[in-house]
Amino acid sequence: MAEPILVTGATGTIGRRVVDALRASGHDVRPASRTSPCPFDWGDPDSWPAALDGVQAMFLMAPDDVPVEPDFVKLAADTGVERVVLLSSGAIEEMHDERLLEAERLVKESGINWTILRSSWFDQNFDEGFFQPGVMAGAVCMPVGDVRQVFVDAEDVGAVAAVALTADGHAGNTYAVTGPRALTFAEAVATIGEAIGRPLTFDGSTSAYVAMLVEVGMPQEQADLIASTFDGLRSRGDDEPTDTVRRLTGKEPIDFRDYVADAAKRGAWALS
């Protein structure tokens, strides 16, 4: 495909890996975000036409708490985008994630050939994302109890997205993108603790999570509401690995232990 492939969120955890994977397979890429060479801002519709100019395929992601704008999807369809790969998330029905449910509805109704990636928790949450401060402080807290989740490496999500953007046969599919094995948060955190040689604790209770949010200044009511979104995840029970990574990329998905070993080796959790 000679036309540039638009990658939104191109400086983020997944987008930057989508860019790398596409470039590694020789594709012309247009990385877009507020700080990318192609400035793209969800809050500034004037930035959208240049991002979409001449594009036939795009990777679509919305940053946390930001919705996919219906007018952007409509503009993409009107300007000739033929293929869209949307980054979504597992368990969005159970967690009543209206933002991502709406994003999925929008791409399905857009008239563009769509593929939806329902990704599990990214491994990189622990060194690039919202668990990093907890790891550094020695205590991670999430109201998920002891359900098993199939953490997936962002490299694998990026590689799957690149295939869905460039190979035929994926339109109309929603893929659950997971790592190779399910583990509890406690096991994940213990794996990191062992690798870095520091004691790390994990608390999966709702009360501890609410207390943590309140301590950083969130009103009690809001903290309770956020914590309650995890009720559905807990009652859904253990997650199961899927074969999406292997099937689309031809490679085995990266194991959480290997992610941790690599991150520890490059000093991701080093105390300065």
Ligand X SMILES: NC(=O)c1ccc[n+]([C@@H]2O[C@H](COP(=O)([O-])OP(=O)(O)OC[C@H]3O[C@@H](n4cnc5c(N)ncnc54)[C@H](OP(=O)(O)O)[C@@H]3O)[C@@H](O)[C@H]2O)c1
Out of 6, 29, 61, 212, name the contact with ligand X by CB under 6 A: 61
C-alpha to C-alpha distances, 182 to 50, 142, 268, nearest whole angstrom: 42, 17, 23
178 lies in the site for ligand X, by CB under 6 A: no
Q: How far is the CB of 168 from ligand X (least distance, A)?
A: 25
129 lies in the site for ligand X, by CB under 6 A: yes
179 lies in the site for ligand X, by CB under 6 A: no
Q: How far is the CB of 18 from ligand X (least distance, A)?
A: 9
Pick the closer one to ligand X by CB: 78 or 102. Answer: 102
**DSSP conformation class of 75:** H
72 lies in the site for ligand X, by CB under 6 A: no
39 lies in the site for ligand X, by CB under 6 A: no
The 3-state DSSP class for residue 145 equals coil
The residue range among 118-126, 140-148, 181-189, 258-266 that interacts with ligand X, by the rule CB under 6 A, is 118-126
Pick the closer one to ligand X by CB: 125 or 166. Answer: 125
34 lies in the site for ligand X, by CB under 6 A: yes
Exposed/middle/buried for residue 181 (C-beta within 10 Å: 0-12, 13-18, 19+): middle
Out of 125, 166, 178, 206, name the contact with ligand X by CB under 6 A: 125
Q: What is 85-143 written as a DSSP string?
A: EEEEETTTTTTT-HHHHHHHHHHHTSSSEEEEEEE--BGGGGTTSTTHHHHHHTEEE-T
59 lies in the site for ligand X, by CB under 6 A: no
The residue range among 114-122, 158-166, 224-232, 247-255 that interacts with ligand X, by the rule CB under 6 A, is 114-122
Q: How far is the CB of 63 from ligand X (least distance, A)?
A: 4
Alpha-carbon gap, residue 203 to 142, rounded angstroms = 7
The residue range among 34-42, 51-59, 78-86, 179-187 that interacts with ligand X, by the rule CB under 6 A, is 34-42
Which has the closest alpha carbon to 61: 37, 33, 36, 35?
33
Pick the closer one to ligand X by CB: 51 or 212. Answer: 51
Alpha-carbon gap, residue 143 to 209, rounded angstroms = 6
Q: Report how far apart the first and last C-alpha atoms of the chain are (Å, whole number).
A: 45
**DSSP conformation class of 60:** E
15 lies in the site for ligand X, by CB under 6 A: yes
143 lies in the site for ligand X, by CB under 6 A: no
251 lies in the site for ligand X, by CB under 6 A: no
Number of Cβ atoms within 10 Å of the Cβ of 261: 12
Tokens describing residue 214: 């309140």
Q: How far is the CB of 257 from ligand X (least distance, A)?
A: 18
Residues that contact ligand X, how many (by CB under 6 A): 27
Tokens describing residue 44: 């500034």
Which has the closest alpha carbon to 27: 165, 130, 232, 143?
165
Tell me which residues touch ligand X (CB under 6 A): 9-15, 33-36, 40-43, 61-64, 66, 87, 89, 119, 121-122, 125, 129
